[in-house]
């Protein structure tokens, strides 16, 4: 407590005490505390009661209602679930000891060591540490210099190419940014529209506070574009926001301008703000272009969530941000709520904030181009192999770090579903993918593209071998296979 406040409180109490002593006689309680006589005024009586209450042993009143330990988890904590963790932990995995494990399930691009942060990124943090300027708290929205740097870095999100640093809030990773946006816009009993397939964290962040998640479908046959008619049918008076993830995790899709405009038009018709998860905005393969949804509308407020995590290959540094695009000032009290959310943990990592201007300005484009080259090459390689595998239907991504692979389960009679497919693939071939069920997309698996090229080639070859062993061949296939074997012997 600041000394000035403490002293003011002391003076206030002292003046009341002296006033009461001049107007009423006193006696001592058994504990020695002075008591105001019954004929004192209202203030004297209130002070006396406070003194009596403070003289009682702590917890005395509660003791009678507590007969034992009754510690319970809060409803928020008990209703918070990570879908990926629960599904993966249910698998009965016993990898093939004859084959080293290849985990194509981990969304951390640093896991295998082939993708590393740029030297310039690392040196920026070293300079921030050595300066000793960033060891204390920052403003809850972030240091001004860091927000200025993000504003310049993200200028492409506005047609006019200019963002006010005061419209930026730094967060503890993009996941924190998403949480703040969801909780600032939606209340208990309301709903948020999220994509399916989609990142399971959206539901994790919402369901604990009894915010309903409603899924709008992405269509694989249309490059994972949204089913616009089905999406619009989900909207009612309790819909708080539309969440757009572009480029997509897990699909690797990149929406074109026309499709984004269709989504914006839906939001205009129904007065819905947009939460834009754009953490992969710069992870776009040749031939595709990422367009920030905020650049397409002045009418619909957009909260764009981004960060260092993926592009700079430093997910553990926990540096994300929210950019508020609200040019018609329609967010109202939600903007106040969003700012309040940033005070929950008193701001993000200040060392990384100190390094942010140098990271964003000095990391060379050649570094980013090299990372994209690796990911795109792996995507082409995996697609080339898997599209030839009977029973599988890979969908070529246009960005991000992932590929979704469809499974024709009818051709695998001994495989119950995509989760069982993953389990048996690990047990036989020591290749670990994530089942589509993790993303509310049964009948698919997701593979990551961040592994070394030789490793992804080996993994895809093992997947092909697994599928060939379990694939149910029809009569014609058996005849063709028999003829090929016979011809080979000649």
pLDDT of residue 91: 86
For residue 24, pLDDT over 70 is answered with no
Domain boundaries, the chain: 3-56, 90-113+366-489, 119-363
d(CA 316, CA 339): 24
Strand bridging mode 239-245 / 191-196 = parallel
Burial status of residue 244 (CB atoms within 10 A of its CB: 0-12, 13-18, 19 or more): buried
Which residues fall within 8 angstroms of residue 237, CB to CB, at 6 or more apart? none
Decide: 392 and 378 in contact? Cβ < 8 Å. no
Neighbours of 230 (CB within 10 A): 13
Give residue-wise pLDDT tens across range 69-81.
Answer: 989 998 888 888 8
pLDDT of residue 220: 94
List Cα–Cα distances, 283 to 56, 109, 294, 303, 455, in angstroms. Answer: 64, 12, 18, 20, 21
Give residue-wise pLDDT tens across range 373-410.
Answer: 999 999 999 999 999 999 999 999 999 999 999 999 99
For residue 28, pLDDT over 70 is answered with no
Predicted TM-score (pTM) of this structure: 0.83
Architecture of domain 90-113+366-489: Alpha-Beta Complex (3.90)
Mapping DSSP to helix (H, G, I), strand (E, B) and coil, where does residue 169 land? Answer: strand
The CATH code for residues 119-363 is 3.40.640.10
pLDDT of residue 362: 97
What is the residue-wise DSSP string for 219-254? EGGGTTEE-HHHHHHT--TTEEEEEEESS-TTT---
Q: How confident is the model at residue 82 (pLDDT cuts 50, 70, 90)?
A: confident
For residue 41, pLDDT over 80 is answered with no
What is the residue-wise DSSP string for 275-335? EEE-TTTT-B-TT-----GGGG-SSS-EEEEEESTTTTT-GGG--EEEEEE-TT---THHH
Q: What value does the mean pLDDT take over residues 106-118?
A: 93
Q: What value does the mean pLDDT take over residues 460-476?
A: 88
pLDDT of residue 104: 95
Q: How confident is the model at residue 90 (pLDDT cuts 50, 70, 90)?
A: confident
Q: What value does the mean pLDDT take over residues 24-34?
A: 40
pLDDT of residue 16: 38
Mapping DSSP to helix (H, G, I), strand (E, B) and coil, where does residue 374 land? Answer: helix
């Amino acid at each position: 407590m600041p000394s000035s406040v403490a002293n003011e409180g002391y003076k206030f109490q002292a003046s009341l005490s002296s006033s009461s002593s001049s107007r009423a006689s006193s006696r001592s309680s058994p504990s020695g505390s002075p008591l105001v006589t019954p004929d004192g005024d209202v203030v004297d009586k209130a002070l006396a009661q406070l003194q009596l209450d403070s003289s009682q042993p702590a917890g005395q009143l509660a003791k009678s209602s507590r007969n034992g330990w009754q510690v319970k988890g809060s409803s928020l904590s008990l209703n918070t679930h990570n879908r990926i963790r629960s599904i993966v932990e249910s698998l009965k995995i016993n990898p093939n000891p004859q084959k080293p494990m290849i985990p194509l399930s981990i969304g951390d691009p640093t896991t295998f060591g082939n993708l590393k942060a740029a030297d310039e990124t690392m040196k920026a943090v070293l300079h921030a540490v050595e300066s000793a300027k960033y060891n204390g708290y920052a403003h809850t929205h972030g240091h001004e210099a860091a927000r200025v740097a993000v504003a310049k870095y993200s200028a492409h999100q506005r047609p006019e190419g200019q963002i006010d640093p005061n419209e930026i809030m730094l967060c503890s990773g993009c996941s924190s940014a998403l949480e703040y946006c969801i909780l600032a816009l939606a209340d208990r009993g309301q709903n948020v529209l999220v994509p399916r397939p989609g990142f399971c964290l959206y539901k994790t962040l919402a369901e604990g506070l009894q915010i309903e998640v409603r899924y709008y479908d992405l269509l694989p046959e249309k490059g994972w574009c949204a089913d616009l008619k089905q999406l619009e049918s989900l909207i009612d008076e309790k819909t708080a926001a539309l969440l757009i993830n572009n480029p997509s995790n897990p699909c690797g899709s990149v929406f074109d301008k026309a499709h984004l405009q269709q989504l914006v038009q839906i939001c205009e018709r129904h007065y819905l703000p947009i939460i834009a998860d754009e953490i992969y905005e710069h992870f776009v393969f040749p031939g595709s272009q990422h367009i920030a949804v905020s650049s397409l509308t002045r009418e619909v407020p957009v909260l764009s969530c981004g960060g260092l995590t993926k592009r700079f290959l430093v997910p553990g540094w926990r540096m994300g941000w929210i950019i508020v695009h609200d040019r018609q000032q329609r967010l109202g009290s939600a903007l106040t709520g969003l700012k309040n959310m940033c005070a929950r943990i008193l701001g993000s990592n200040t060392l990384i904030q100190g390094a942010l201007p140098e990271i964003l300005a000095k990391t060379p484009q050649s570094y980013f181009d090299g990372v994209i080259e690796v990911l795109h090459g792996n995507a082409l390689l995996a697609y080339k192999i898997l599209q030839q595998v009977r029973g599988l239907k890979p969908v070529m991504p246009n960005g991000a770090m992932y590929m979704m692979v469809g499974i024709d389960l009818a051709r695998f009679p001994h495989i119950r579903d995509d989760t069982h497919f993953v389990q048996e693939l690990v047990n036989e071939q020591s290749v670990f993918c994530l089942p589509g069920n993790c993303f509310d997309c049964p009948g698919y698996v997701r593979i990551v593209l961040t592994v070394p090229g030789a490793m992804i080639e080996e993994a895809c070859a093992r997947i092909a071998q697994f599928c060939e062993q379990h694939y149910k061949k029809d009569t014609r296939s058996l005849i063709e296979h028999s003829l090929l074997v016979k011809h080979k012997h000649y």
